Amino acid sequence: MLDLNILRDRGARTLSELNLNYRSSRLSKTKFAAGKLRAGDRVPDITVACDAPTSAAVPIYTILDPSRFTLLDTAHTPAGVSDSGWPSFVRVVRVRAAEDTQNKQAFVESFGSEGGIFGVRPDAYLGFTGHIDDEAQLRKWFDEHFHI
């Protein structure tokens, strides 16, 4: 017999569209993925630490902007994503795992432990995922779709 809790959970995820993804969309490009996130997936609701405007741990949705793209840089190296040369509708934010165990585990499961770049669309879905060395591919993706 089917467990009613499983049925209820599946129904809630379906109705809330948490299971929705756009992985097969032509606007989704997964160049590299160290974690479970792929282009077309919704950014998970986790707490992250970010470099700007403060180094405090914040819910990731507070740093995403519904009026422009957000590039999440998880590398934290000088060779990370360049802040310059992007159009005004793109913002670069450096994020890392929050220190608490639960969010750290969720961050690594989602984004991986290697440096990556994640192009987050204004609707909080990933348009591009890549290794930190894939900035040129990310710029090409933006140019192909948004003619920057």
The closest of 118, 114, 129 to 93, measured between CA atoms, is 118
> Does residue 17 surpass a pLDDT of 80?
no
| Residue 3 pLDDT class (50, 70, 90 cuts) | low
**How far, in Å, are 4, 21, 34, 95, 136 from residue 50 at the CA level?**
40, 26, 20, 4, 23
Residue-wise pLDDT tens digits, 110-129? 999 988 999 999 999 999 99
Q: Which CATH number describes the domain made up of 23-146?
A: 3.40.30.120
Domain boundaries, the chain: 23-146
In sequence order, what are the beta bridge partners of 118? 72, 129
In sequence order, what are the beta bridge partners of 30? 129
Residue-wise pLDDT tens digits, 85-103? 898 999 999 999 998 888 8
Residue spans of alpha helices (H) in 49-132: 101-111
Output the six-digit token pair for 129: 């995922």
| Residue 16 pLDDT class (50, 70, 90 cuts) | very low
